Amino acid sequence: MLRYCIENKITFTRSREYRKNDSCYVEQKNYSIVRRAVGYLRYDTDEELDVLNELYLYLGRYNNFFIPVTKLALKTRTGSRVVKKYDTAKTPYRRVLESEYIGDKIKESLKREYESLNPAELKRKITKLQDKLLKLNALKQTVRKEMMVNEGAYGYIKG
């Protein structure tokens, strides 16, 4: 991504200009999707990475095709009172289909993908991978604790 931005003379930043509080929107999505799915444990092995990548694949499909979200349509301020109006809840998939900026070829491809998906099966796969991730992490913690017990205070193995 960075290379693409440099080649096309696009300023690459993590937030918008003069919007120092942009990160809260990213963090909100981190919680509502990522943290709720995998928690706050540290996953640092190759096996855990493989499971996470597979989990994110199914999680992305499940959230984008089957979980509706509302978007802020209008925000008005009257004195100190702020009134917010939201549009009707739609999945990101439906929003893409309704967009005039997306080409028909992409919409057809998304329709074919949508027709091939089963939300119940996706949810089962997500749950199975979450369980596998927790078991891998628990096993890793057990192995690390055993290593700590077997090593003395000076880092050599007791014998």
Task: Using pLDDT thresholds of 50, 70 and 90, give the confidence band for residue 32.
Answer: confident
Residue range(s) defining the domain that contains residue 101: 40-136
Q: Is residue 150 part of a domain?
A: no
d(CA 86, CA 73): 5
Q: Is residue 149 part of a domain?
A: no
Count of the separate structural domains present in the chain: 1
pLDDT one-digit tens code per residue, 108-152: 999 999 999 999 999 999 999 999 999 999 999 888 888 777 775
How far apart, in Å, are the Cα atoms of 46 and each of 94, 101, 130, 136, 137?
Answer: 35, 39, 16, 11, 12
pTM for the model stands at 0.74
Q: Is residue 141 part of a domain?
A: no
Tell me the chain's radius of gyration from C-alpha atoms.
22
* φ, ψ for residue 138, nearest 5 deg: -65, -40
Q: Is residue 152 part of a domain?
A: no
Residues 6+ apart with CB under 8 A from 2: 12
* C-alpha angle 66-72-78 in degrees, rounded to nearest 5: 160
